[in-house]
Amino acid sequence: GENVGLHLPTLSVQEGDNSIINCAYSNSASDYFIWYKQESGKGPQFIIDIRSNMDKRQGQRVTVLLNKTVKHLSLQIAATQPGDSAVYFCAELTGANSKLTFGKGITLSVRP
Amino acid sequence: DAGITQSPRHKVTETGTPVTLRCHQTENHRYMYWYRQDPGHGLRLIHYSYGVKDTDKGEVSDGYSVSRSKTEDFLLTLESATSSQTSVYFCAISDGRGSPLHFGNGTRLTVT
């Protein structure tokens, strides 16, 4: 929604560079992770997901890395474009139900 | 937007009045969720549904109720709106555990 980026840390990158957005998750029992992108005035948009039996998954221009040892998730965006400017959230799924826990988010700002 | 329609998109209401927000999906997904998003808090789960007439509470359910009489519709009701319920409300759907949630574009609710 609007102002979703307020109070969030900001990552500023040059257009064309690669971006790395990091997320520390909280529960070692989490077994499914998702990255979302949220633009101003819109709902979160699914980017990529990964299950705990994997440590890397690639999509179009994006790669997610999972390090279960230190409970760390990262999203790499190759050749960052102005359209990548948004707030990015990680989310983790724990337990038998389907409730996700979302991180607070990071604002990605792409400099032209 | 994965076939999700939220209505209304914007609403202003007075303290003490009842408010109902509607989420309609065309994906025939079993799970539906209501989240609120506030600066500094990220996305927080209010209620969710795992089937028709099957609902459960999330982490911030006080002051809210939900109903799901059909697969495609999930209603969120504020019985007596308070200023603390001013927020952006997002509906999400998924077709099962370990599947990503897909979000609508939100309803901005202002309680004066």
Q: Is the pLDDT of residue A5 over 90?
A: no
What is the residue range of B19's domain? 4-111
User: Is the CB of residue A89 less than 8 Å away from at least one CB of chain B?
Assistant: yes
| pLDDT at site A27 | 87
Alpha-carbon torsion (B12, B17, B23, B24), positive or negative = negative
The Cα–Cα gap between B83 and B78 comes to 11
pLDDT tens, A35-57? 999 999 999 999 999 999 999 99
Q: Which residue from A96, A98, A102 is facing B31, i.e. has the nearest CB?
A: A98
C-alpha angle B23-B20-B24 in degrees, rounded to nearest 5: 10
Q: What residue spans define the domains of chain A?
A: 10-111
Looking at the domain that runs over A10-111, which CATH code has it been given?
Answer: 2.60.40.10
The C-alpha atoms of residue A84 and residue A99 are separated, in whole angstroms, by 27
- A97 half-sphere exposure, CB direction, 13 A CA radius: 14
CATH number at residue B16: 2.60.40.10
Chain B contact for A104 (CB, 8 A cutoff): yes
> How confident is the prediction along chain B (112 residues), in pLDDT tens digits per residue?
569 999 999 999 999 999 999 999 999 999 999 999 998 788 999 999 999 999 999 999 999 999 999 999 999 999 999 999 999 999 999 998 788 999 999 999 999 9
